Structure 1
Amino acid sequence: MKNKPLTIKEYDVCIVGSGVGGGPIAYELAKAGYKVAVLEKGGWFDEQDFKKDEMLPRRSIFRSKIEDERHVLEEPNDDGSWSSDTTSEFWGGNIVGGASNFMSGYFHRLKPEDFRLLSEFGPIEGANIVDWPISYEDLEPYYTKVEQVVGVSGKVIPHPNLEPRSTKDFPFPPTAEHPIAGWFDKAATQLGFHPFPMARAVLSQPFNNRRSCEYSGYCGSYGCHSGAKGSSRAALLDDTVKTGNCDVITHAKVYHINTDEKGNASSVDYFDKNGTSHQIRAKIFSIACYSIESSRLLLSSTGPKHPNGIGNKHQQIGKNLHCCAGGTGHGIFDLTQFSEQQVSELTVRGPFFNRALQDWYFIDDKSAFDKRVKGGTIDFVFDPPSPTSEANDLKWDDNNNLVWGSALKQKIKSHFTQSKDFKFEVFCDWLPTDNCHVSLDSSEKDKWGSNVAKVKVGFHPHDLKVAQYVVDKGVEVMKQMGAKEYYGNAFTSPTSNLIAGGLRFGNDPKTSALDADCRVHGTDNLFVTDGSFMPNGGSITPTWTIYANSFRVADKIKAQLSA
């Protein structure tokens, strides 16, 4: 591969990455009449490419290949040492639209208190907690814009931790409700909890040339066959390209950001599918590659004004990475213990369950914690159909002995005809610490010749304590609903699809990588618009917040270009 560019093209705005951090920038700037280039490492796939095939997410069609560009992963051992011989690939989606093609679309807003984590809850030893440089009120109009432009379906129900809204309800009614939602509401209410329907970035009605949900059951981890899911491609980029002002350049691996004598970004270099180098010059650049890869790109882009990587004067690039703390739990319902009508309701396939609890978003329980602390959200869901993998798991008994013949047949029959598995997922803050960050691995390069990212993923013990507290509440609900078996576990392993931080924003360059407008400190024209900007993830999935912030930054970029 030769690094001298074969071609050089010029645009007003160049965006690296096409997911929820990049899509709104392209959409807003192209609509405003600016010439935009979007560089996407993956290919362009659409609804016809997304099949209802349970094995499809496990194939490498839509993901980076680990043999081409792995991540070196450092995790803590039980004895306090660190293991660096493990590997992982933190790729949500190597495709136009990125990981948003495969999200479940659970959409929750942050609460006002999430923006004031330090002020509201105080410091925690060993955690790098800070307040955001913006408020909930600054972001609220953009949450609303995402509802209307991307498309969010739901119903606002009053509950103790409902965040302030500028509109009374969502623009689209809730998606079809599963028959046992009423069971859940009754059980949760009996326990004194406050259940509410969960909003989804999935259309319940046709909108803007996108069909509504088909209720196939294949949603989370799968591409959407109808276009109902609010991916960056389906909701934004399809229309953006139609303006004639946006070029989406696929199979473009960006490997360096070049800077001028003032230290501002002047161009980016990328390899095409054949390994030939090209260059894009622009007035404004937006980096939205996903937290780890955005940090890696800035660290790799050294220059005369940035000898340690762009914006890294105070060693803040890659710092304060965070995953999503939490856990999971299950309720196993014995169908032989229910009436025929109840069994019929339990076994309905297709409609979403769409229920959540946030009674413990803030925990004020002196028997468990010495002060009021941030808690978590519980989302109750059904997993997508996966009969092949489920059947494969059944070939082992509780003692890890192989089961076969009649015993295996009976076990499979019982699993699929006599029980129903109901799941919950817990989302909590993963406190940023000095032991969770991104750096460059000095000994390994990817297939394009760039140093791969080394990801250290230490966690704070507080995360596990909070997560277990909330998990136990989810188990209570499963028991109250009548599950024969009920259990849950908190986890500390990094979630490869729910990572944020690494380039957090703030007012002080000594403690943050970006300013309040998500502009890299030390530059005038380089922005980061994926989840890297977040000082903390909140006790929810971060996708809606990333979308909203990207629309907010798009307004900042438009103002800068028109000045």
Structure 2
Amino acid sequence: MIYDVCVIGSGAGAGPIIYELSKKGLKVCVLEKGDIYNEKDFSKDEIVVRKAIYTPNLKDEYHTIEELMDNSWQKFPTYETGWNFWNGSLLGGSSNFMSGYFHRLKPNDFKLASIYGVAKKSNIVDWVISYEELEPYYTKVEELVGVSGEVQEYEFLEPRSTKDFPYSALAENKIVDLIDKSCKELGFKSIKTPRAIISKQKDHRNPCYYSNYCGSYACSSGAKGSSRASLIKDAILTNNVTIIANAFVVKLNTSKDKKIKSATYLTKEGVKKEIKAKLFILAAQAVETSRLLLNSKDENFPFGVANNSLNVGKNFLSSSGGIVSATFDETNINLKDLQEPGLFVNRSLMDWYFTKEFKTGTIDILFEHANPIRRASILRWNEDELLIGENLQNKIFETFTKTRTLNMEIFVDWTPNDDSFISVDEKYKDKYGIPVANIRIGSHEQDKKASIFLEEKAIKLFEKMGGKNIISDISVLPSSNLQAGGCRFGNDPKTSVLNKYCQAHEVSNLFVTDGSFMPTGGSVPYTWTIYANSFRVADYIKNNWEDLIV
């Protein structure tokens, strides 16, 4: 059988494509590396169902990392450290495990080169689309995927075509009163964080029931706006979607006219199979998307599919920043209110998103993730002393019953540069014999400067709130769950992989719709922008279908 469309991956970049094209009547085949799960499969067992359970064993399937050490690049496999760049091999991908912090990019995020210039040793460019072109699709995501919140005025609030979010803000812990009061005294503006978690019933999806487990856990109510729950379930009802689970795509095969004719995938048992389609959508998350293109070498593309320009893998993006933490107890807030489980903090600071001199970013405020086993395990150590027995028992009891830790997560741009890229190395192969992705993680000095700027603001707020044990961990290392870049879109085929509609310059029936297209990432999590752009691309494909398959 020849499908109309073959979609590789099923996360945020794939869901809108699957949803829109199946509703148009096209026959869509989805190749998903992992298995298919539903809400009934997602409990809150810290051992059984955390994100790592839905990712490959690093001894079988790993990545290699290149870090700059002693002025030279050192390469090591991730199975040596446990540093995991797999983010969810199952239907819906990593969108099942996101915390759902949904901030739009700002209009100026689309033209950083024009506003701030191109920093030395950076590859900053303006986007080839504007905020105004993407805005209707941000709005579409709010409705279809479901975004809760309350629009509040602040200096850098982006223009909106609707007055407010379609879902009211989620219930909040009383600590927000202390945050808001302290911000006001400091002259900061705290705003309610938009979340891709619905606060009321939507079709087959139940509202949030405040389980206290969002980050790194899949949602058992359907409230979280994963691609699986919010889009693919509805798409399946069209009877136009075929999902092939446990299908690890290892090669894209091209024909004489330099189009993709088929995708070769491996079953869980390692058996090779092939899928043919008229149009191919690649949305496997940035690292694996570049890996697949680079490994798909043939006579048309000796350096990998769509890579005769040698741009695939370049300008990989993550997010710089870090976390500032503080503990709170009954001296700050009523203990019963503080300990009330499940209720959200949902506060963000964007006062300094842009400054006259440079771009900074966002501070999102949240309680530490529940994960009691992990939290208790960390308490075993008192500096260099290992606690056991009654001493450990007392420390765990005091910590769990009388205090709570609040985090301020800092998000700043990952400045694209020549030392941040994805490649493959024939020396390093997974259990199937396929070269793994190598991730070089060269950061830019600007990112740390912006992070430290926001760190100072976070510490100042915690001090005003009366937080204790304030600690800070600012890092220029990438956040493995935030991946973008590697297949930059642009108008010039010499410097980009994709055109403005995320269609490969060199392969007319190939589109890339995960975060790979982004030339810069903004200072917020990428998911909302990936969703919005995928809806934009889906519209282009629908409106130009006959021309695209000629």
**Fold-level similarity (TM above 0.5):** yes
**What TM-score do the two structures reach when normalised by structure 2?**
0.97
Alignment of 1:107-122 (within 5 A): 107-122=102-117
1:374 and 2:335 aligned: no
**Structure 1 partner of 2:40:** 48
SS at match of 1:228: coil
SS at match of 2:392: helix
Matching residue's letter, 1:380: I
| Contact kept in structure 2, 1:288 and 1:528, CA below 8 Å | yes
Cα shift readout 1:444-499 (whole Å, capped 9, x = no counterpart): 22222211111111101111111111111111111111212323231112211001
| Contact kept in structure 2, 1:72 and 1:441, CA below 8 Å | no
CA distance in 2, matches of 1:272, 1:20: 23
Alignment of 1:91-490 (within 5 A): 91-335=86-330, 337-338=331-332, 342-364=334-356, 372-398=357-383, 400-490=384-474
Give the C-alpha shift of residue 423 in structure 1: 0.8
CA distance in 1, matches of 2:48, 2:495: 42
Give 4+ residue runs of structure 1 displaced > 4 Å after superposition: 57-60
Give the C-alpha shift of residue 249 in structure 1: 0.7
1:75 and 2:67 aligned: yes
Cα shift readout 1:340-379 (whole Å, capped 9, x = no counterpart): xx22221111111100000010123xxxxxxx21111000
2:75 to 58, 79, 84: 84
| Contact kept in structure 2, 1:347 and 1:420, CA below 8 Å | yes
Matching residue's letter, 1:281: K
CA distance in 1, matches of 2:355, 2:455: 13
Deviates more, 1:97-106 or 1:87-96: 87-96
Matching residue's letter, 2:325: H
User: Mind listing any 5+ residue stretches in structure 1 that lack a counterpart?
Assistant: 1-8, 365-371
**Structure 1 partner of 2:539:** 555
Alignment of 1:518-537 (within 5 A): 518-537=502-521
| Contact kept in structure 1, 2:2 and 2:276, CA below 8 Å | yes
The change in CA–CA distance for 1:30 and 1:305 in structure 2 (over 3 A counts) is same
The change in CA–CA distance for 1:487 and 1:60 in structure 2 (over 3 A counts) is closer
Give the C-alpha shift of residue 144 in structure 1: 0.3
Give the C-alpha shift of residue 407 in structure 1: 2.1
2:490 to 506, 522, 527: 506
Deviates more, 1:57-66 or 1:37-46: 57-66
CA distance in 1, matches of 2:389, 2:87: 39
SS at match of 1:114: helix
CA distance in 2, matches of 1:163, 1:287: 30
Matching residue's letter, 2:188: F
| Contact kept in structure 2, 1:74 and 1:86, CA below 8 Å | no
**Structure 2 partner of 1:496:** 480
CA distance in 1, matches of 2:186, 2:118: 32
Cα shift readout 1:3-34 (whole Å, capped 9, x = no counterpart): xxxxxx31100000000011110100000000
CA distance in 2, matches of 1:487, 1:393: 15
CA distance in 2, matches of 1:203, 1:43: 25
CA distance in 2, matches of 1:532, 1:96: 19
Give the C-alpha shift of residue 536 in structure 1: 1.0
CA distance in 1, matches of 2:16, 2:460: 40
Give the C-alpha shift of residue 396 in structure 1: 1.4
1:35 to 22, 27, 33: 27
Give the C-alpha shift of residue 91 in structure 1: 0.9
SS at match of 1:106: coil
CA distance in 1, matches of 2:473, 2:53: 32
SS at match of 1:320: coil
Matching residue's letter, 1:82: W
Cα shift readout 1:420-449 (whole Å, capped 9, x = no counterpart): 211110100010111010111120222222
Give the C-alpha shift of residue 414 in structure 1: 2.0
CA distance in 1, matches of 2:104, 2:32: 28
| Contact kept in structure 2, 1:468 and 1:489, CA below 8 Å | no
CA distance in 1, matches of 2:361, 2:178: 22
CA distance in 1, matches of 2:432, 2:157: 47
The change in CA–CA distance for 1:57 and 1:123 in structure 2 (over 3 A counts) is farther
CA distance in 2, matches of 1:440, 1:131: 28
CA distance in 2, matches of 1:216, 1:526: 41
SS at match of 1:56: coil
| Contact kept in structure 2, 1:331 and 1:479, CA below 8 Å | no
| Contact kept in structure 1, 2:43 and 2:49, CA below 8 Å | no
SS at match of 1:261: coil
Matching residue's letter, 2:58: I
CA distance in 2, matches of 1:551, 1:160: 28
CA distance in 1, matches of 2:313, 2:445: 22
Give the C-alpha shift of residue 108 in structure 1: 0.1
Give the C-alpha shift of residue 320 in structure 1: 0.3
Matching residue's letter, 1:535: P
Give the C-alpha shift of residue 560 in structure 1: 2.4
Give the C-alpha shift of residue 57 in structure 1: 5.0
CA distance in 1, matches of 2:483, 2:301: 26
Aligned residue pairs, count: 543
Matching residue's letter, 1:548: A
| Contact kept in structure 2, 1:24 and 1:550, CA below 8 Å | yes
The change in CA–CA distance for 1:293 and 1:261 in structure 2 (over 3 A counts) is same
Give the C-alpha shift of residue 56 in structure 1: 3.4
SS at match of 1:373: coil
Give the C-alpha shift of residue 260 in structure 1: 1.4
1:19 to 4, 11, 27: 11
Give the C-alpha shift of residue 58 in structure 1: 4.9
The change in CA–CA distance for 1:527 and 1:338 in structure 2 (over 3 A counts) is closer
Say what the alpha-carbon RMSD is for the aligned residues. 1.3
CA distance in 2, matches of 1:92, 1:122: 34
**Structure 2 partner of 1:4:** none
Matching residue's letter, 1:446: D
CA distance in 1, matches of 2:146, 2:275: 32
Matching residue's letter, 2:303: N
SS at match of 1:296: helix
The change in CA–CA distance for 1:550 and 1:59 in structure 2 (over 3 A counts) is closer
